[in-house]
Amino acid sequence: MPRKFAYFTDAHLGQRLVMGGAMDSDKMRYANEPAEHWDHLRQVLDDIAARDISDVVFGGDIGARGTVPDFFEILGSYDFNSKIVLGNHDDYDAVSPFLCDQTHAIQGKVCFFEGDPALKWLFLDSSTNRVDEDQLAWLKRELQDTRRLLLFLHHPVLPIDTLVEHAGATLRERDALKALLTSSQCDISLFCGHYHMADERREANIRQFCTPAVSYQIVKQAERLRVDTTRCGYRIVETNDGEIETEIVYLSEI
């Protein structure tokens, strides 16, 4: 059955990127700026709604802790069926009160699935910059009878040759997750963000789609970190009889 959804990620509400210096604890450095990126969020959500897309997945990194209630209030003002992934700038305790309608497979983690073995949607929590042993064990059980999987995770699993990755922003212990996925008999389409750029690559049975950010973009190939704060972006995904087609949408500042 055909299905269309929008994947948007990395809003970083209330966070202004600080250029220069080293990354701190696997995170880009940000200064508190309460007004930052709200216009981009509205622009992306308005564009999704204008295209009559009702299913949306947010890929993580809402922003400063204090922005969480307003993020969910804005998202709830649209007629969307929404799912949420946690990123490394998200805190389970801050977000979980707004996810009371979801049942999570692992206590303290936003991880769950929907669908059936023919096509399963599965969501992992990498808010601690890793997918822990409990989630890996749960994922292994879910993969056993699954033929096609749409996997949603904030961090990329397949390596991307870019400065962000080389600076230490990778998912910790990702080789264990990658080995589990590639050892399965499942056709996997993985949707991620975190790197603030568009990228698509395939390895073994995994096809990975990295999606531009709501907040700002990072130039994939550059000698030093370069950002583009004038554009926000997201991805439209259509699934039909085992085929997946995607479209990147960039929106310029109003």
217 confidence band (pLDDT: 50, 70, 90): very high
% residues pLDDT > 70 (the chain): 95
What is the set of domains in the chain, with CATH numbers? 3-252 (3.60.21.10)
Q: Do residues 90 and 127 lie in contact, with contact meaning Cβ atoms separated by under 8 Å?
A: yes
Instruction: Tell me the mean pLDDT in the region 201-213.
Output: 98
Task: Let me know if 73 is exposed, middle or buried by CB neighbors in 10 A (0-12, 13-18, 19+).
Answer: exposed
27 confidence band (pLDDT: 50, 70, 90): low
Mean pLDDT over all residues of the chain? 92
Q: Do residues 234 and 214 lie in contact, with contact meaning Cβ atoms separated by under 8 Å?
A: yes
Task: Let me know if 26 is exposed, middle or buried by CB neighbors in 10 A (0-12, 13-18, 19+).
Answer: middle
pLDDT digits (tens, 9 = 90+) for 58-91: 999 999 999 999 999 999 999 999 999 999 999 9
224 confidence band (pLDDT: 50, 70, 90): confident
Say what the pTM is.
Answer: 0.94
